[in-house]
Amino acid sequence: MDFESIEKNPNMLSILTYLGDLFTEDKIELKSIYEYLLIDVDLLNN
């Protein structure tokens, strides 16, 4: 699933937005969080 399709998924987008709000002070971009989550998923799948 790419970032654009997640943007169209209200549930995933709200989760990512919530995480983004949590890390706003650290200037972490929404896409960086998404990519970080992808890395975690890849590690779990291996």
The per-residue pLDDT for 7 is 64
Residue 29 confidence (pLDDT) above 60: yes
Please, are residues 30 and 23 in contact by the beta-carbon 8 Å criterion? no
The pLDDT value given to residue 39: 74
**pLDDT (0 to 100) of residue 2:** 66
Residue 26 or residue 33, greater confidence: 33
pLDDT at 41: 66
Cβ-contact 33, 22 below 8 angstroms = no
